[in-house]
Structure 1
Amino acid sequence: MAERKLMAGHVMRRLRRQQALSQAAMAEMLGISPSYLNLVERNQRPVSATLLVKLAETFDFDPRALTAAEPGGGREAIRRRLADPMFADLEIDRNELEEWLAAAPGGAEAFARAFDRIGQATTAAPAGDPVGLVRAEIARWRNHFGDLDAAAETLADQLRLGAGDLYGAISERLRVKHSIAIRILPVDVMPDVLRRLDLHARQLQLSELLDPASRTFATAFQLALIEARSEIDALVSGAGFGQIAADRLYRRHLASYFAAAVMMPYARFLRACEATGYDIELLQRRFGAGFEHVAHRLTTLQRVGARGLPFFMIRIDRAGQASKRYAGASGAALVEAEGRCPLWNLHGAFDRPGHLAVQLVELEDGGRWLTMARTVTPQGQRYGLVSAEFAVAIGVAAEHAGTLAAARGFDLAGTAMPIGLGCRQCLRSDCPQRAAAPAGRALVINERERRVTALTFAGD
């Protein structure tokens, strides 16, 4: 608590009302001025350590209650809900929102729950959106599956004892224990397939286009489908999707998770992360993995008693469309937002392929994140054919980033790039990059002046 400002006005207000006290009476009992207590309740002043001790002594108050979740997820989460077009005519500004949260935190929480319940009922589309269903299930687990991790770690130790070469050890295990041989086929035999299991020939056929890291991952993926079948089946059954496409998509994610955990066993990988400052290039070389493999693995390190830093990961194409999103335990709104800010250098990664772009960004809610972005190209691309390119970004809250190798030379408390969650959700009024007014805000056209942004909106 001493390392950050503790804003807990809604909790203070609730405590005062439970005690049936006026602000003046409570302030007198705590030895502070009524005006200061009023500022604390309105989240305009933090709860100091001295005040925290006084609360505990006077009201037998558990200080941990002050860190409880804010109503509806806090100001920015409520504001995103109010950006829905159904509220467009209300034009609720920041001050009004702050007053609502301070005066009626229970009402704000009730609104958030009702809005979310309605949204789930109207947008779930269980029959038509398997990707959304699987994403929601992965988020529910925070992309950490303890049973799979434990099984993969045990298997990795066994493979390590058998041979120093992981690919060779997995290939041998598939051959000896499961009667599946590995065969590398030329591209003219498998022109548009990278991996195929031929049960008739008892072969796992891999394209010659796969690089060493991808070959290892492909063989570990096949091993997952066989040796982690019971764990994967239990997770798929527990999800209860009720549709084949979602079941298969989730199964593929879980098998990929297991494969990555075999290549990067939890305890060894976490030790390497902490020893290298989460240096992604070093981790790639040490574990024989690709950039995207390592980036995804960083979002999974949530084992009880041995947690890594809470990273998020997102992968986009040049059009800004997200094809992978993992918030992990980060709680990053950057992952869940449908829009993205062009000032975030995730987009600029396409300008320097293969280069790691590091940036300190700050959201409207004051949250600061250190992000790292780099381009990746899918395996199997050939000259003369349509090629694909993606940008992958990972990030961690600036308060956790001090030990990162990528943070060297950065003043994490200094100037950060101000970004939003896409123009439709961003209320920054001085952004020259703005392409649309925020949802729920009417455009204001003034012929007598030209501001930094051509799109001026009401309530800014």
Structure 2
Amino acid sequence: MSEGALFAGPAMRRLRKKEGLTQAAMAARLSISASYLNLIERNQRPLSARVIVQVVDQFDFDPRSLREDEAIGGVDGLSRRFADERFSEFGIDRDEIAEFLAAAPHAAAAFARLYDTAGSGAREADDPLIQSRLEIERWRNHFADLDTMAEELSDELRLSRSDIGVALGERLREKHQLAVRILPREVLPDALRRLDLHARQLQLSEMLSQASRNFQVAMQIAQLERSAEITSIAAGSKFADEAARRLFERHLVGYFAAALLMPYSRFLRACDATNYDLPVLQRRFGVSFEQLAHRLTTLQRVGQRGLPFFMARIDRAGQFSKRFSGASATTILESESSCPLWIANKAFERAGELCRQSVTVEGSDAAPANWFTVARTVEGSGASEEARFVVVLGIEARLAANLAQARGIDLEQNAAQEIGPGCARCHRPACRQRSLPPRGALLQFDPISRGVTPFQFGPN
């Protein structure tokens, strides 16, 4: 199956029935044979570009509805939902999920909507952060139009030269009559960036690193020059909550800024040429580790795809403050907290060091189980010296063999550290790091002996 092939049999069958047509009649309207339409409806042949054009022309049809699966993240998005511990007893594997999505996409979308609003906790329906994240996941964190616009602007500004900050500053001065000014912390004690239109200045905190200064200027350019396109994308998402829409727009502004600093084609070529060597890519594009990690989750241009990384940021309590699955099928990011055995938590003890670990995920039958992960501490965005987080990148182990940072790491599953989805959702019985029993598990008590772990439990 080719990467860009479009299989939309159920959608085509529903359209035909809605129009009250036989297969022969619809095939005639589309200038194809009835047998070919039959194969399309059974998902045994993809829709060609010519047939899609005919469908749109003959039936005044919105072609976006042919990709119903994208609204829920495809098989990967559905797999992440079925990885919930409440479905573990059914043993639903990835093949069964793919069959469900292909045969009954509306039913799959209905299940996904129910799960997102109620199945994973009623709070999700009212939480703007979660709603914004779900919309980013629906797009798989790839916004092709923004990538193209940022790439064109990068070429115009010749950002391949070494001093990117100067070029960005010149853009603000020449096109928007704005100067960039660095102000002391006591002048901007609680802000990283401020636009002063009266003074015609973009004011930045002196506490920002050079990479962060460049990113803030790029974000300001995005807001000044691409606000209409960003607002249009967000408006199409139909958020019921204004805060969710604003969070999503903020993500898109940052997306454009990252795409401007790391333009798609040149960045992907550098990734391939260096085997995704993270420190080299940081220096080559003048970006922080966190900015680089964000960008690596977005490389999904049709015909020019990068490796499918996921990215997360956690605090010292193991809580996720950012998580982007991208095109990966990971279930690691789906719980409320992270496993203390994961290198993402241990990296706090090794500040500034790239920490590597191969992990296998407990209860991950519905998704690839073995992952290669890299984690590093990052400082809070200049606002406080005490703010420290860990940013972690991950990719399926089978895809990691040639990565620069994977050299010397045994990627076989039997050598991987087993981790779980946080103690409250983890059913590994012999974990000495356990601090809570699994939610819903039947606790067991032995008056004669005391085990090496604080909780003994049986099945639900």
Q: For the superposition of Structure 1 and Structure 2, which TM-score range results when normalised by the shorter chain? A: 0.7 to 0.9
**Count of matched residue pairs:** 381
Q: In the alignment, which residue of structure 1 is the partner of 2:14? A: none
C-alpha distance 206-97 of structure 1, shift in aligned 2 (>3 A)? closer
**Contact 1:361–1:369 under 8 Å retained in 2:** yes
Q: In the alignment, which residue of structure 2 is the partner of 1:458? A: 458
Deviation per CA, 1:270-323: give whole Å up to 9, x if none. Answer: 111111111111111000000100011100111111111100111011111211
Residues in 1 aligned to 2:215 and 2:159: alpha-carbon distance in whole angstroms = 19
Residues in 2 aligned to 1:98 and 1:262: alpha-carbon distance in whole angstroms = 41
Residues in 2 aligned to 1:213 and 1:153: alpha-carbon distance in whole angstroms = 19
C-alpha distance 317-79 of structure 1, shift in aligned 2 (>3 A)? closer
Q: In the alignment, which residue of structure 1 is the partner of 2:250? A: 252
C-alpha distance 182-421 of structure 1, shift in aligned 2 (>3 A)? same
**Contact 2:81–2:115 under 8 Å retained in 1:** no
Q: What is the identity, as a one-letter code, of the residue corresponding to 2:395?
A: V
Q: In the alignment, which residue of structure 2 is the partner of 1:147? A: 145
Q: What is the identity, as a one-letter code, of the residue corresponding to 1:326?
A: F
Worse-matched range after superposition: 189-198 or 122-131? 122-131
Q: In the alignment, which residue of structure 2 is the partner of 1:314? A: 312
Q: In the alignment, which residue of structure 2 is the partner of 1:86? A: none
C-alpha distance 432-441 of structure 1, shift in aligned 2 (>3 A)? same
The answer on 1:443 being equivalent to 2:443 is yes
Deviation per CA, 1:395-438: give whole Å up to 9, x if none. Answer: 00101101111110112115100111112222222212222222
Worse-matched range after superposition: 138-147 or 364-373? 364-373
Residues in 1 aligned to 2:134 and 2:250: alpha-carbon distance in whole angstroms = 15
Residues in 2 aligned to 1:446 and 1:111: alpha-carbon distance in whole angstroms = 46
Residues in 2 aligned to 1:73 and 1:162: alpha-carbon distance in whole angstroms = 40
- Superposed CA RMSD in Å reads 3.3
C-alpha distance 252-345 of structure 1, shift in aligned 2 (>3 A)? same
Q: What is the identity, as a one-letter code, of the residue corresponding to 1:395?
A: G
SS in 1 for 2:152: helix
Deviation of 1:214 (Å): 1.0
SS in 2 for 1:336: coil
Where does 1:369-388 land on structure 2 (aligned, <5 Å)?
Answer: 369-381=371-383, 387-388=386-387
Residues in 1 aligned to 2:76 and 2:188: alpha-carbon distance in whole angstroms = 55
Worse-matched range after superposition: 255-264 or 363-372? 363-372
Q: What is the identity, as a one-letter code, of the residue corresponding to 1:405?
A: A
The answer on 1:394 being equivalent to 2:378 is no
Residues in 2 aligned to 1:341 and 1:315: alpha-carbon distance in whole angstroms = 13
Gaps of 5+ in 1: 2-59, 84-92
Residues in 2 aligned to 1:127 and 1:329: alpha-carbon distance in whole angstroms = 24
Deviation of 1:224 (Å): 0.5
TM-score using structure 2 length: 0.75
**Contact 1:72–1:112 under 8 Å retained in 2:** no
Q: In the alignment, which residue of structure 1 is the partner of 2:127? A: 129
Residues in 2 aligned to 1:115 and 1:127: alpha-carbon distance in whole angstroms = 15
**Contact 2:180–2:204 under 8 Å retained in 1:** yes
Deviation per CA, 1:230-268: give whole Å up to 9, x if none. Answer: 220111111122443223222211111111111111111
The answer on 1:327 being equivalent to 2:329 is no
Q: In the alignment, which residue of structure 2 is the partner of 1:427? A: 427
Q: In the alignment, which residue of structure 2 is the partner of 1:80? A: 84
The answer on 1:275 being equivalent to 2:279 is no
**Contact 2:129–2:247 under 8 Å retained in 1:** yes
Bigger Rg over Cα: 1
C-alpha distance 390-449 of structure 1, shift in aligned 2 (>3 A)? same
Deviation per CA, 1:62-100: give whole Å up to 9, x if none. Answer: 699xxx9989956x85462517xxxxxxxxx85x7579x
SS in 2 for 1:447: coil
Q: What is the identity, as a one-letter code, of the residue corresponding to 2:404?
A: A
Q: What is the identity, as a one-letter code, of the residue corresponding to 2:421?
A: L
Q: What is the identity, as a one-letter code, of the residue corresponding to 2:133?
A: R
Deviation of 1:179 (Å): 1.2
Q: In the alignment, which residue of structure 1 is the partner of 2:357? A: 359
Residues in 2 aligned to 1:251 and 1:278: alpha-carbon distance in whole angstroms = 29
C-alpha distance 135-157 of structure 1, shift in aligned 2 (>3 A)? same
C-alpha distance 118-410 of structure 1, shift in aligned 2 (>3 A)? same
Residues in 2 aligned to 1:391 and 1:161: alpha-carbon distance in whole angstroms = 29
TM-score using structure 1 length: 0.75
C-alpha distance 446-97 of structure 1, shift in aligned 2 (>3 A)? farther
Worse-matched range after superposition: 256-265 or 159-168? 159-168
**Contact 2:356–2:373 under 8 Å retained in 1:** yes
Deviation of 1:448 (Å): 2.6
SS in 2 for 1:392: strand
Q: In the alignment, which residue of structure 1 is the partner of 2:8? A: none
SS in 2 for 1:457: strand
Residues in 2 aligned to 1:150 and 1:115: alpha-carbon distance in whole angstroms = 34
Deviation of 1:194 (Å): 1.4
Deviation of 1:156 (Å): 0.5
**Contact 2:361–2:418 under 8 Å retained in 1:** yes
**Contact 1:82–1:440 under 8 Å retained in 2:** no
Q: In the alignment, which residue of structure 1 is the partner of 2:408? A: 409
SS in 2 for 1:233: helix
Q: In the alignment, which residue of structure 2 is the partner of 1:27? A: none
SS in 1 for 2:444: coil
Residues in 2 aligned to 1:162 and 1:178: alpha-carbon distance in whole angstroms = 22
Q: What is the identity, as a one-letter code, of the residue corresponding to 1:80?
A: D
Q: What is the identity, as a one-letter code, of the residue corresponding to 2:392?
A: A
C-alpha distance 202-381 of structure 1, shift in aligned 2 (>3 A)? closer
SS in 1 for 2:394: strand
SS in 2 for 1:402: coil
Q: In the alignment, which residue of structure 2 is the partner of 1:24? A: none
SS in 1 for 2:443: coil
C-alpha distance 63-156 of structure 1, shift in aligned 2 (>3 A)? closer
Deviation of 1:111 (Å): 10
**Contact 1:127–1:243 under 8 Å retained in 2:** no
